Amino acid sequence: MKFSRLHKILFVAVGIIAGVFIACNEWDYIDQPETVYLNEDVKVTARIRIEPSTNYDSRLIFGIYAPKSLDLKNNATLIFNTENIAAILGADYPQAIDIKNETLTPIDMASAAPDAGGKTYAEAFMEQFGVGENASLGIEMEWVAWESKIQTYISDKLPGDVAHNQHFFATVDITFNAGPEELECYLGYASLNAVKGFNSSDEQFSPQMFKRFVVDTYEAPALPTLTMVQSVYRFGDIFGMEFSDTATALEGESEIYICGRATLTTGEVIEVTEAVDANRLQPISRRLPNGEYQYLFEKYIYPPFMFNLADGQKIDALTIWFINADGSKVVTESYDGVAFVLEQTPGSIHDVEEPVEPEVPEEGGEETPEEGGDAPVEA
């Protein structure tokens, strides 16, 4: 199912993490991707700036309103940190500790919520934070909550009743998988102090924040049939290329070979047309944002070696094409009809006497992005 820009899957994060300790706070920032894809791991970081106004114990409860299909109770991980409570208060208040990399614990939503008049967590969250703009969407949704097991202490005063006038900072890092279904909803976040509970007279709840979050089906960009690895190269260099067999006569072939026609500065023409090991392309893979892989072929060539040139012979023009193992299938141009005529970097062809050797990856290797995983390379 494909959506127009106005109808693409829409998650809006209702960022309400702020009330970690008290209502006198502001968002420092919410770092959230605007677009994610089906089955992609989603990462959200919320940093809260807190201005305390009283002395009290504090322990975080954090909730997310989400489609039941996401199963966030089992599918989400929340990591909680505070940054400067101990630095500001620690010397005078030993109980004012900083929380470091605590994994928040899921709460049984059917259990009684603190100071909520006998309501369950599910009922209390619904009453306090609502459903946002989800009421008319017809999606089955739920509040899911987590809690910190570590208690700290907040104060706006130092000994001697001296106001310190400093903000405290807290961060919640959230990760979850976007799931296999296309959804359109508003994803809600909320938090409160477990020590105070849902007592509205204390109003230690988070303010609301909405952030647009698009979830869409990933469509891999069409690969050019031939892509040069280096943007600058000369026929006297070692340079690389990538070949995509998609929508060509060689699609599905396990072995692909490069052939070529070199026109020398003397006018002599030399051709290489056989499927030999030295001209065989190596299969590689590239991980896409949705976790799937693109498979293509790669080859680094040194034209003087490929065409067995003698000392002093130089290439003036070079055209290449690709064949299968027995030569029965040939691809001479890209899917849009452009012949594979290579163009070296402008300049005198006599400028480069020795080959410039770039870093050449091990043939048959895999290109994996920073957060990619391993994938089998199709032969």
What does the pLDDT look like over 49-104, one tens digit per residue?
776 766 667 788 888 888 898 899 999 999 999 888 777 777 777 787 788 999 99
Distances (CA, A) of 38 to 212, 218, 292: 16, 7, 11
Q: What's the chain's average pLDDT?
A: 79
Q: Which two tokens mark 334?
A: 């890209």
Question: Which uninterrupted H or E stretch holds 118?
Answer: none
Q: What 3-state DSSP class applies to 133?
A: coil
pLDDT reported for residue 221: 66
What does the pLDDT look like over 276-294, one tens digit per residue?
999 999 999 988 766 778 8
The residue type of 273 is: T
User: Does residue 272 surpass a pLDDT of 90?
Assistant: yes
What does the pLDDT look like over 334-359, one tens digit per residue?
877 889 999 998 754 444 444 445 55
Strand boundaries in 238-328, DSSP class E: 239-243, 256-264, 269-272, 282-287, 293-301, 315-324
* Beta carbons of 263 and 316 less than 8 angstroms apart: yes
Q: What is the sign, positive or negative, of the torsion defined by CA atoms of 50, 56, 61, 65?
A: negative
Q: Can you list the domains of the chain with their CATH numbers?
A: 8-216 (2.60.40), 226-342 (2.60.40)
Proportion of the chain in helix, strand, coil states, percent, rounded to 5: 10, 40, 55
Of all residues in the chain, what percent carry a pLDDT higher than 90?
Answer: 38
What is the number of other CB atoms lying within 10 angstroms of the CB of residue 370?
4
Q: Which carries the bigger pLDDT value, residue 162 or residue 284?
A: 284
Across 109-135, average pLDDT? 91
In the 3-class helix/strand/coil scheme, how is 178-223 assigned residue by residue?
A: CCCCCCCEEEEEEEEECCCCCCCCCCCECCCCEEEEEEECCCCCCC
